[in-house]
Structure 1
Amino acid sequence: MKELGLVSKLPINRFTDFGAYLQLESGEEVLLPQGYLKGEERENDELEVFVYTDSEDRPVAVTTRPIALLDEWGVMEAKEVTSFGAFMDWGLPKDLLVPNAEMGKNMEPGKKYLVKVCVDYRTNRLIGSTKHKDFIYPAPKDYEPGIQVEGLIFDKTDLGYKVLLEDRYEGLVYANEVFQPLEIGEQRTLYVKKRRDDGKIDLQLLPTGREKYEEGAERILKILEERKFLPLHDKSDPEEIKKVLSMSKKHFKQCIGQLYKAREIKILEDGIAFAD
């Protein structure tokens, strides 16, 4: 079935008490259950649906889009781990099974994992795989320091946050360089710090050079507009600065230095305020 695991626009062939039957490219039909109909549809109307198999392995269409389509990656929570695999919440009534043979590591209920949606061609069912290392390639050399990239944050380790780039490259944001909240499963704009010899990418949250300080300076000015005074200075505790501004003490000092030179702020003994 060509439409399996994908979002497709399919025409309505006919209605029944159970819902609407949509026509596949092969000429066969797939049921869109009654609960997904608005009541205003007519025969021959085209509906955008996702096609997968229900709990009895019958093809079924839904108007809900899952976390990931066929051959895509997504971060999903493990709802249940059994003797034969883990059932993942991917946003649909029927959970996605990651069979034991497709587990990259042991999984635990309630934890989130990077999952690739695949087809088990023996059964023609959609399954998941967490063996992301089998699909990772060395990043090309044009990943140069400073370029902006989009990444999916998929794991946290003692070293930092692992990031998937372009569905095929792996990056890392070091834990000691994170000064704002990051969430597993978050899509994030990041900046290349370095391409390592193994083809993996060191990443950072802010642009390098002058742009970095300008972004932080804008954040300080915005907070000053709201509060008029910010009780932070070069002797403030680094954790307090991180809590208020989501930046390191070093970054804070660089930003207020820039703002002071630009005569935007005045530096007082107990904090900073707008210049007179």
Structure 2
Amino acid sequence: MIPDTAELLVQAQHLSVERGGRTLLDSADLAVHAGEIVTLIGPNGAGKTTLVRTILQLMQHNRGKLYRKPGLRIGYMPQKLHIDPSLPLTVERFLTLGGATKAQAHKALERTGAEHLLKQPLQSLSGGETQRVLLARALLQQPELLVLDEPVQGVDVAGQAALYALINELRHELGCGVLLISHDLHLVMANTDTVVCLNGHVCCQGHPSQVTADPAYLELFGHRAEAQIALYTHHHDHAHDQCGEIDPEHSHHA
């Protein structure tokens, strides 16, 4: 649970984006506080990337208000990395291109469990290895806000769970907010504080337990939503004490 006193990092109010006579995003509201994980879900073309790009100030909005904490440090993890296969680029060189020292690059890789990849050619990495390197690159910014676009793209199921667990650990360690885009309903619901469901506009938002019961969510995701509710309920059949440990006195198991 995010404290009411947690610092507001970014907030979109009635944000609309139009391009070429088309409305890409219509009156969207979203807020991310320090220590909070907010996840954007929705079908392709729903406006998720548009909203994120607007928050990153890579796109201008046409209507509404956008607040960003003054001097906000953002670590951005793109969905895909496009590197020329003929370009000789090691992981270490890739991470130091932005001005980081070799020591800083090594420390960031160590935190994401990828320190053994330091001297590897970037093009030789697996999907999971690439994502951990990209996350390390985002950490080099000492971010107050991590923005992650499909962070488990191209990663196997076991690797996806491990990456989400790592993201969860990082938000506690750094006290940073996390804004991520995801298509994976199951892992999203188990690892987020607030879900924002987009389909050109905000269909519904709130705690995962609220969103999964919302008719707009059920209509948008259909059978996937029904299966997700069962999984979400199964994975939340216990309570936690104030330290985050499972509390046997207030837990029940199906």
Q: TM-score, normalised by structure 1?
A: 0.24
Larger radius of gyration: 1
Q: TM-score, normalised by structure 2?
A: 0.25
Q: Which structure has the highest strand share of the two?
A: 1
Q: Which has the higher contact order (CA 8 A, sep 6+)?
A: 2
Q: Which structure has the highest helix share of the two?
A: 2
